[in-house]
Amino acid sequence: MIPIKSPAEIEKMRAAGDLASRVLNAVVAMAAPGVTTGELDRHAGKLIADAGARSAFLGYHKFPGQLCISINEQVVHGIGGDRKINYGDIVSLDCGVNLEGWIGDTAVTVPIGIVPPEVERLLRVTEESLDFSLPLATAGRRLGDLCAAIEEHVTKNGFSVVREFVGHGVGRHLHEEPQVPNYGRKGTGPKLKAGMVLAVEPMVNLGRPEVRILEDKWTVVTRDGLPSAHFEHTILVTNEAPEVLTWRRKTLLK
């Protein structure tokens, strides 16, 4: 059963989404050559705690980080530590917060300096696949319409979508019904209703779609070792245009 949020609950989710966005943008501003992923993680943890919230990730199935920080061929669920960011890397930052019992979840992939043209295009196409799909999250449409739009934009540009990891409903819990794949068929899946809240998060690989999990049992990497990008918004389904409950500065790609 897909939860429908009440107006009061939606207000709580707006606040959580705004906090997740502010923390994510602060971490993006800090990401630079020589900074470690652990420093980014600790900075996020302080910002979240100072806002009277907690990380939605820390302790979730024993995940050890405040953020998910994934570099280059790492797709999702990277753990902050001693690794230093290098010029030319791409860094995926996924931030989830729990504010007064409600979750905000958002992610972005940023280039650190100049990256190869095909990697810059990967980031652009991944972000576009998210932005182009969101207008389809309106009451009365099928979830498959949104999912198919992501896959169509990705594949026509020569990239591949990760199939083992998907978006999800979100609310009081980090993962609620429904699953939101980045692939699908138009006209299929559950019918969307006003009040549903979805975390839509394309994970797109430069090369093949296959992934594997490292020995830390968390970090997901591409099997072919090529880069991957990840963007995410938390959105509210309405009877008209969907409302994006998270936001990001549009200056991440020059």
In-domain check, residue 75: yes
Tell me the pLDDT band of 250, cut-offs 50, 70 and 90: low
pLDDT of residue 248: 80
- Does pLDDT of 249 surpass 80? no
**Domain residue limits at 101:** 7-244
- Give tens-digit pLDDT for 172-208: 999 999 999 999 999 999 999 999 999 999 999 999 9
In-domain check, residue 2: no
- Give tens-digit pLDDT for 99-111: 999 999 999 999 9
Among the listed residues 247, 164, 251, the one whose alpha carbon sits nearest the alpha carbon of residue 203: 164
pLDDT of residue 253: 33
User: Residue 225, by phi and psi: left (phi above 0), alpha (psi -120 to 50) or beta?
Assistant: left
- Give tens-digit pLDDT for 13-38: 999 999 999 999 999 999 999 999 99
Q: Mean pLDDT, to the nearest integer, of 62-83?
A: 98
In-domain check, residue 139: yes
In-domain check, residue 251: no
Percent of the chain residues past pLDDT 90, beyond the cut: 97
User: Residue 129, by phi and psi: left (phi above 0), alpha (psi -120 to 50) or beta?
Assistant: alpha
- Give tens-digit pLDDT for 108-159: 999 999 999 999 999 999 999 999 999 999 999 999 999 999 999 999 999 9
Q: How many domains does the chain have?
A: 1
pLDDT of residue 202: 98
8 Å CB contact between 99 and 52: yes
Find the CATH number of the domain harbouring 110: 3.90.230.10
Phi, psi angle pair for 52, to nearest 5°: 80, 25
- Does pLDDT of 252 surpass 50? no
In-domain check, residue 35: yes
Axis-axis angle for helices 7-30, 37-50 (nearest 10) = 140
In 3-state terms, what secondary structure has residue 38? helix
DSSP string, 185-251: -TT-SPBP-TT-EEEE--EEESS-S-EEE-TTSS-EEETT---EEE-BEEEE-BSSSPEES----TT
In-domain check, residue 252: no
In-domain check, residue 159: yes
- Does pLDDT of 254 surpass 50? no
Tell me the pLDDT band of 11, cut-offs 50, 70 and 90: very high
Percent of the chain residues past pLDDT 70, beyond the cut: 98
